[in-house]
Amino acid sequence: MAFLFHREPQQPAPQLTGVDPIAAMPGGQVLVRGRELGPQEGHLPQASIGEVSTPVLLARPGQLVLQVPEGSISGDVVVQRHGSASNPLPLRIAVPMAENLHPVANPAVDSTGNVYATLSGARGQSVPVSIFQITRDFQLRPFVRNIMNASGLAFDAAGYLYTSSRAEGTVYRISPAGAVSVYAEGLGIATGLAFDLEGNLFVGDRSGTIFRVAANREIFVHATLEPSMAAYHLAFDAQGVLYVSGPTTSSNQAIHTIDRDGNVSVFYRGLGRAQGMAFDVAGNLYIAASLHGQRGVVRITPQREASLAVAGADLVGLAFVEDGCAVLATREALYHLDLGVDGQPLPGTRTA
């Protein structure tokens, strides 16, 4: 007598086709695209990054939204469904570098690869250390004290560090040994800093004024933006065009460009709370901002095409370091990320 056994039809394994973006901060959300990713009998698929189980926030047949857990490191995204595992796809994850800070702009990098960040504090607040140095092995060292509300940071071609005090309207010059002197005064609510190739220092004032401080320390008004614009973050591209961003409550915020003659134009519009910026060697602009409601680091190409490059909240700035890596600044800490992107060399910084 023959016996017939009923077999459940084998369900296809999930297939992954892409992860967007390809890099994230802990706590950031990434979109995973593919097939066979929807819930099964009311249960969400399971996901992991490397060996770490990862929360699934949304599941549809063609996509998942994952939240990167704290403590994660770079690894492969794998989805489990129908008792079968998907193909792996890599995801780059930032790792903590220094904590208990208060950056309000980009970190700065010197010619030997040391990173500098502020403990800025609330306006008018005195803090024990104004600027910290983070060495290449992630050791945190006090570098400068007694500067009220240190805000923007930038190096000149000689390797001197400059910082603005938004409480005093002053820019300070700091030697490699940490000696502090006043460089320029009377600059409003001085915030963002950037040097051009001729050694002129540009200073952003929250009222919308962009000051130019010449090498002889003579101060000029280089450009003026509309009063609602907080001229807070500055960066130069390789052609010497100045880019300006300022965080506001608008979700349709613009990045402005200013040419050598002080003429202002809009480079890109459509960001939320745009803050610190940096360029890569291909001329792409990277900026801490929101794009279509997604927070992180946005990449804008020279053709003005924008996409999310890094997912993550509370970012205020970034700086590129050697070997394709970046340092990302949140409101309280610095993170190190192997982004696979070479940054544009800046005055006084290390070239990869």
- For the segment 13-43, what is each residue's pLDDT rounded down to a tens digit? 999 999 999 999 999 999 999 999 999 888 8
Q: What's the structural domain count of the chain?
A: 2
211 and 269 fall within a common domain = yes
pLDDT of residue 227: 60
pLDDT of 352 above 50: no
**What average pLDDT score do residues 94-107 get?**
96
**Same domain for 117 and 236:** yes
CA–CA distance, 120 with 135 (Å, rounded to integer): 20
- The answer on 325 and 259 residing in a single domain is yes
Q: Does 133 share its domain with 199?
A: yes
Residue 253: which residues within 8 A CB-CB, separation 6 or more?
Answer: 245, 246, 247, 269, 270, 271, 272, 273, 274, 289
State whether 39 and 149 are in the same domain. no
Taking residue 132's Cβ as centre, other Cβ atoms within 10 Å add up to 21
What is the distance, to the nearest Å, from the Cα of residue 270 to the centroid of all Cα atoms in its chain?
Answer: 17
Q: What is the pLDDT of residues 64-73, one digit of tens each?
A: 999 999 999 9
Q: What is the CATH number of the domain that holds 173?
A: 2.130.10.10
CB 86 within 8 A of CB 16: yes
pLDDT value at 183 more than 50: yes
Q: What average pLDDT does range 323-327 have in this prediction?
A: 97
Give the pLDDT confidence score for residue 131 in this predicted structure.
Answer: 98
Average pLDDT on 205-230 reads 87
Residue 13 structure tokens: 């394994």
Last residue of a domain, one of 93, 125, 149: 93
Token code pair at residue 315: 């970012």
Task: Assess whether 77 and 175 both reside in one domain.
Answer: no
User: What is the domain range of residue 188?
Assistant: 98-338
Look at the block and give the residue holding tokens 């002889």. Answer: 216
Please indicate, yes or no, whether residues 103 and 252 belong to a single structural domain of this protein.
Answer: yes
- Same domain? For 185 and 45 the reply is no
Residue whose C-alpha is closest to residue 85's, from 147, 156, 130, 36: 36
The pLDDT score that the predictor gives to residue 11 is 75
Kindly report the pTM of this predicted structure. Answer: 0.93
- Same domain as 121, residue 78: no
What's residue 9's pLDDT? 53
Give yes or no: residues 80 and 108 share one domain. Answer: no
Residues 127, 232 within the same domain:
yes
pLDDT of 163? 98
Alpha-carbon span 128 to 100, nearest angstrom: 12
Q: Which of 76, 93, 110 is the last residue in one of the domains?
A: 93
| Bridge partner list, 144 | 131
Last residue of a domain, one of 65, 93, 121: 93
Q: Can you tell me the distance from the alpha carbon of 162 to that of 271, in angstroms, rounded to the nearest whole number?
A: 28
352, part of any domain: no
When the pLDDT of each residue in the chain is averaged and rounded to a whole number, the result is 93
Same domain, 61 and 169: no
pLDDT at 188: 93
pLDDT in the model for residue 277: 97
CATH number at 33 reads 2.60.40.10
Is 7 part of any domain? no
